Amino acid sequence: MYKWYLRTLETSFPLKVRPLATMTSEIASQQIVEQLKKVGWKEDRIDAVIPLIEEINQLKKEKNAIILAHSYITPDIVYGVADYRGDSYQLAKKARESDADIIIFAGVKFMAETAKILNPDKTVILPSIEAGCSLADSITAVDVLRLRKRFPGVPVVTYINTNADVKAVSDVVCTSSNALKIVEKLDSDTIIFIPDVHFARNIQRQTKKRIIGWDGRCIVHDEFSVETIKELKRQFPDIKILAHPECDPSVAALADFVGSTSQMYEYVRTTNYSRYMVATECGIWDRLRAESDKELLGSCFLCPYMKKNTIELILEVLIDPRPENIIEVPEEIRSGALRSLERMFELAG
């Protein structure tokens, strides 16, 4: 019998434990406790984290700060302190609408940079400076300029999972939820689509336009294999397979639904099939387990970059951020990247 498994987070909490009974905001804390239990957290771990959650929520009010958390972040952050949770596109929109003085971005560096590009007057803080991204690190602005020289006049569509300088030399940014729409709307039969090689091939499957890609990969979605999916389908013929477009096209081709993190989440939440396999990061599995009663089978993988964000670091940067945690984007890069982001909002709505 094939052994299916779930990778679970093992985080140690070298903290003083205060019993839940002594908490002040009992109801809010209780809701968080229930959600953490649903995703398998043990009581001592929950007891350790609740005082931090309370302190962070108090500090947010005092400092007019908000916390944006990507769905791949740990559930103590997602349910305990986040004001908004979602995928890159949803959070970019929230960052644009925000009237907070401080935005703490529980995500990775390119996301915090995007928030800063959209909100130059706000203080944007990334809790861990080690929260990078294999995709963002796969391409530089110089690489994009070389592609432009090689394919003159061909528009460059850049995935939001890139650094600000790459966005600045692109024509338009896209996310996993609007990439195809943007590719189709551009007035060109050939598109440079960077940096994810699998995503580019998945787009190619859906458009008549010629797509020129780049060899970047997400180390999480690159892990899913055809063999795993086929074996799941063999054992559970009624299973619905969902895949992220950063997965290999051979995996995506076997899926019943290919979409962004939020689209996959909504698909599972709003349909009533007996079981699902969701080929993406484990954070979405946690959200689905906490927020629905759907049966998930198969495996998920952790993004080591996203998991650099911890509740302890969020508290630290709220109290006293170090200069390296405060995101700055030079104005000449910011204005170029903003143009590419605004073009996305204009084309995708």
Q: What is the CA radius of gyration of the chain?
A: 20
Half-sphere exposure of 330 (CA within 13 A, CB side): 5
**Binding ligand SF4 by CB under 6 A: which of 135, 182, 191, 241?**
135
Contact region for ligand SF4 (CB under 6 A) — 6-14, 208-216, 249-257, 302-310?
302-310
Residue with tokens 């953490």: 36
The strand pairing partners of 327, in sequence order, are none
Asked if 161 touches ligand SF4 (CB under 6 A), the answer is yes
> Residues 142, 309: contact at Cβ < 8 Å?
no
Cα end-to-end distance, the chain, whole Å: 47
Q: What are phi and psi of 317, to 5 degrees?
A: -75, -25
**Binding ligand SF4 by CB under 6 A: which of 155, 281, 286, 311?**
281
Asked if 305 touches ligand SF4 (CB under 6 A), the answer is yes
Strands 190-194, 257-258: pairing is unpaired
Asked if 39 touches ligand SF4 (CB under 6 A), the answer is no
> Residues 129, 137: contact at Cβ < 8 Å?
no
Nearer CB in complex with ligand SF4: 72/276 = 72
Nearer CB in complex with ligand SF4: 79/305 = 305
Shortest Cβ 263–ligand SF4 spacing (Å): 15
Binding mask 199-228 for ligand SF4 (x = CB under 6 A): -------------------xxx--------
Nearer CB in complex with ligand SF4: 48/131 = 131
Asked if 92 touches ligand SF4 (CB under 6 A), the answer is no
> Residues 245, 259: contact at Cβ < 8 Å?
yes
Tell which residue, 258, 248, 245, has the closest CA to residue 161.
Answer: 245
**Binding ligand SF4 by CB under 6 A: which of 92, 200, 303, 338?**
303
Binding site for ligand SF4 (CB under 6 A): 72, 108, 133-135, 161, 218-220, 281, 303, 305-306
